[in-house]
Amino acid sequence: MEQFIARQPILDVQKRLYGYELLYRGAPGRMLGEVSGEQATASLLSSAFLTGDIDAISNQRLCFINFTQDLLEKNLPMNFPKAKIVVEILENVEPTPEVISVCRALKKNGYTLALDDFVYHRKFEPFLELAKIVKIDIRLTPLNTLVRTLNLLKRHSVKLLAERVETAEEFVLAKRMGFSYFQGYFFSKPERIVITEISSIKVNLLRLLAEVTKKDIEIERLRDIILTDVAITYKLMRFLNSAYYYLLQEVKSVQHAVALLGEKELRRFVMMVIISELATEKPDELVRLVLVRSKFCELLGLAAGFSESQSVDLYMTGLFSLLDTMLDFSMAEILAKLPVNAVVKETLLGKETAYMGFLILSQAFERNQYTVCKSLQEKFALSDEQLQGCYLEAVKYSNYLG
């Protein structure tokens, strides 16, 4: 039976990607609430590792995976590569002699242990002696409890991971409090929305983006843009010669690349590279997120029966959805400089359009918001298999571009 998984990024203090927590989303015909913790983790592990999707979905990064009392007592983590997983001990796991013995053996064999949703109690001291990472939900933990917990943890050699960090302010506060890792989508929000001047370099990139976005741009002009930019040329060659395309012969020239891709795909590729250049001062994960989102929106639209031209608009909607974060500038001001069509523009400005549901669905899937996903799936008549298939394809796409 096919199993469905998603991921959430974990960043370090420099906002560099450290790993992903893998999230189990159920299986065909089975609601998340109908699956036990043991079934969820076992299904996630078998789906991710035994079907070969792990490298695609993790992008060669560490995978944080929840383990229940029963799975730890059965020593299940030892069946999976220590270089690829972080063993998350759930908050309701009791430190029984059996569990402590297993955890001690895991640490001795080089596995990384993390305590999930940690709330301090003296009985958890044996876990703290073995764990490398302690995860604390900064939104659910009252401030006085959080301060007390952090003080108690100072005597242990553990790194702190803040969960549910959703704003730049929360990131800064958590960093000041001594957290080393951060899980949440704070990096995908603008750090400030003020009327100011965009740097001249980014103004030029926006102008180039505007030119590429025009419907009447000629393929010769796209070729010239690529030829005069070493970074775009390099990324184009790397992408076309990657495993994503499975080409029988190596692409060695821009002319060859142009002939292979055609106007639509070439325009899309140049837009993607410009977007990544606009985000050079932002975490790399932001570019990966927007690449997954853009392809995900496009594939969802096609699966829902939207036309080819509408799917192109959906791709653009996803691709441009974080421009305000990349530039720390209002979306309205940015869109005033870009010749995108009215529906895409209205969607990006938060108005209810035919495309808005797909953008919300992609965001809900990113955040594992099951109820929202299910509601929109029903609206667009999308099966669980279609949703998961579109997501994995989008992740693979982003791995070769990001």
pLDDT digits (tens, 9 = 90+) for 351-378: 999 999 999 999 999 888 889 999 999 9
193 lies in a domain? Answer: no
Dihedral sign (CA 227, 229, 235, 239): negative
pLDDT at residue number 40: 55
Are 32 and 179 members of one domain?
A: yes
Min mean pLDDT across 22-31, 54-63, 85-94, 385-394 is at 22-31
Q: pLDDT digits over 226-272, tens only?
A: 787 777 788 778 777 776 666 556 777 878 877 877 778 888 888 88
Across the range 209-225, mean pLDDT stands at 83
Are 19 and 98 members of one domain?
A: yes
262 lies in a domain? Answer: yes
Q: pLDDT digits over 110-169, tens only?
A: 999 999 999 999 999 999 999 999 999 999 998 889 999 999 999 999 999 999 999 989
Which CATH number does the domain housing residue 71 bear? 3.20.20.450
Give the range of the structural domain holding residue 86, as residue numbers without chain letter: 4-188
For residue 199, pLDDT beyond 80 = no
Question: Alpha carbon of 250 to those of 254, 387, 397: distances in Å?
Answer: 12, 33, 19
Are 99 and 213 members of one domain?
A: no
Q: Rounded to the nearest 5°, which phi and psi values hold at 25?
A: -115, 10
Number of domains within the chain: 2
Are 390 and 271 members of one domain?
A: yes
Across the range 177-200, mean pLDDT stands at 78
For residue 51, pLDDT beyond 60 = no
140 lies in a domain? Answer: yes
Overall pTM surpassing 0.85 (yes/no): no
pLDDT at residue number 194: 47
Across the range 167-182, mean pLDDT stands at 94
Kindly give, in sequence order, each residue whose CB lies less than 8 Å from that of residue 241, ignoring residues fewer than 6 positions away: 247, 250, 251
Q: Rounded to the nearest 5°, which phi and psi values hold at 137?
A: -80, 105
Do 175 and 13 contact (CB within 8 A), yes or no?
Answer: yes
94 lies in a domain? Answer: yes
Kindly give, in sequence order, each residue whose CB lies less than 8 Å from that of residue 15, ignoring residues fewer than 6 positions away: 187, 282, 283, 285
Are 207 and 179 members of one domain?
A: no
The helix-helix angle for 219-227 and 254-278 (nearest 10°) equals 70
Are 396 and 266 members of one domain?
A: yes
pLDDT at residue number 219: 81
**Secondary structure, 3-state, 111-128:** CEEEECCCCCCHHHHHHH
| Among candidate residues 130, 165, 188, the one where a domain is terminated | 188
As a whole number of angstroms, the distance between CA 68 and CA 89 comes to 7
For residue 217, pLDDT beyond 90 = no
Are 240 and 364 members of one domain?
A: yes
Kindly give, in sequence order, each residue whose CB lies less than 8 Å from that of residue 320, ignoring residues fewer than 6 positions away: 275, 335, 338, 340, 344, 348
For residue 402, pLDDT beyond 50 = yes
195 lies in a domain? Answer: no
| Among candidate residues 133, 153, 188, the one where a domain is terminated | 188
pLDDT at residue number 193: 47
Are 181 and 214 members of one domain?
A: no
163 lies in a domain? Answer: yes
Question: Alpha carbon of 355 to those of 58, 298, 322: distances in Å?
Answer: 28, 10, 16
As a whole number of angstroms, the distance between CA 86 and CA 99 comes to 16
